[in-house]
Amino acid sequence: MATHSEMVNILVGEEHIAGTFLSPPEKMPGVLFVHGWGGSQQRDLARARGIAGLGCVCLSFDLRGHAQTKAQQETVTREQNLDDLLAAYDLLAQHPHIDPSAIAVVGTSYGGYLAAILTSIRPVKWLALRVPALYRDEEWQVPKRQLDRDVLNQLRSRRVRPEENRALAACAAFRGDVLIVESEHDTFVPHETIMSYRAAFHGTHSLTHRIIDGADHALSNERCQEAYTSILVNWATEMIVGARLDETSAMGFKGVDEGSMAG
């Protein structure tokens, strides 16, 4: 993390020696967590604590239709949940210790889909998507629970181009750093959907793609949960902390990294 430096003179008897004060930056990066459909902020809190330890201000929240507002799940729409996400983002960006130009968004499944769209509306520097889901642009204001599952499965089983889909179009326009995490045995978000997202991110500063071996969509195995936490925290350390260090350097890196991790 970059630091503020101040040159000082230290009095020693009748002489002076040079010193330098180093202090943390006044503003810190912000990280916003967006849970998946049927989830809650509770699933993100442990990872948020780990990333907060890197020197970030983290915010997790419950989308409408979940946790205390679960009664709304039958009627809540994607438009309403995007409004939830925008409100949470704005709250984070207004935090007195946040650098509004250094915000990361971490989205899972449905939350990943919403997070991708968010990047076309608000500034996002880093974007982490775990098993990002995909939905048709049509029926935007129809309650999510009423969307036809068979139609969604057909969409997710083929390669979708950015010009066909709002979320993928946002990905195509994104210029920050991206992490995509795939589950090897995901029956809800298949490999083709992941590849649609990956192909859309053609203008990013960097792209990291990881596959968790043996994992299902929900990461129901504890070892898979741990693998994802390790992937996310390591990536955040490299991207967010590394970016702070690079602020004093003209060096940069652009590339694609991919691999897998056993669950």
- Structural domain includes residue 11: no
Each residue of 12-47: pLDDT tens digit? 999 888 888 877 667 899 999 999 999 999 989 989
Report the distance separating Cα 239 and Cα 237, nearest Å: 6
- Structural domain includes residue 137: yes
- Structural domain includes residue 8: no
Q: What percentage of the chain exceeds 70 in pLDDT?
A: 90
pLDDT for 157 beyond 60: yes
CATH number reported for the structural domain that contains residue 85 in this entry: 3.40.50.1820
Q: How many domains is the chain partitioned into structurally? A: 1
Q: Which domain holds residue 126?
A: 26-262
Residue, of 243 and 159, whose pLDDT is higher = 159
- Structural domain includes residue 198: yes
- Structural domain includes residue 3: no
Q: Count of alpha carbons within 13 Å of 230, Cβ hemisphere only?
A: 13
Element (H or E) spanning 107, and its range?
Answer: strand 98-108
Quote the pTM value. Answer: 0.87
CA angle centred on 237, ends 232 and 238, rounded to 5°: 100
Instruction: Single out the residue of 109, 103, 116, 113 nearest to residue 130, CA to CA.
Output: 109
- Structural domain includes residue 1: no
Q: Count of alpha carbons within 13 Å of 118, Cβ hemisphere only?
A: 32
Residue, of 26 and 145, whose pLDDT is higher = 145
Instruction: Single out the residue of 106, 115, 58 nearest to residue 85, CA to CA.
Output: 115
User: DSSP for 120-137?
Assistant: TTS--SEEEEES-----S
- Structural domain includes residue 21: no
- Structural domain includes residue 131: yes
